[in-house]
Structure 1
Amino acid sequence: MPEQRRQRRYDLRRRLWCEGDRYTVALQTVNASEGGVQLRTSIPPPPGTKLRISLDEPGRGRVVIDAEVVWAQAGRGRGAMGLRFVQFCEGRDVWTGLLHELDGAPKTAE
């Protein structure tokens, strides 16, 4: 099946906070782009769920983004979810700068 992503994905390993109506949890990133991020989680919320993610990047600043779950796969050790960024609330320049630092190592489709 041909790749349908519009933006480059980059390997990015960071712990960030993910807040929903019913929980707040720290999750590990798998890969990221300018418009979304993949996170590891054994019990993801269903697609369509609205979340707020936040990350404090030492020496750069804070990133806060409103996002929506676009896909989810439950499973121990292999569970994950994909988020589409809806709106940057804070730190768009921090996020963009972080990705541009990784520009030499694009993430291939999994």
Structure 2
Amino acid sequence: MSLLIASSRVSLPTQYLDLLRYSNGGEGPLALEPLWFALYSTSECIELFHSDSAVATSFPGFVFFGTNGGLEMIGFAITTDAPWRIVMLDPIAGTSSCVEIAPDISAFIRQIGVEG
């Protein structure tokens, strides 16, 4: 966890870090579109959005922490002040496919594990 925090380009919300401490990865139902959520593990997050990967370079306004189990990625839209909106986007279609799925991480977490 400390490596994730140290390498992050933003100050990650406490609620998100608590979620990772509770479940370092995993997947299940989500009572919001896309109805399924797969949380990236700490090591996957470091590799994905804290490195010089294509995702970090192509989507600098986002910090992704999961997926819908398909192509879409789920993460923070960091282009505004915190609390950041939780969004889903298709990395192939680009930022034009971005949709808000929750107003912030607290609202998002309350819907994890709940059938939609």
TM-score by length of 1: 0.31
Q: Which structure carries more relative contact order (alpha carbon 8 Å, separation 6+)? A: 1
Task: Please identify which structure carries the higher strand content.
Answer: 1
TM-score by length of 2: 0.30
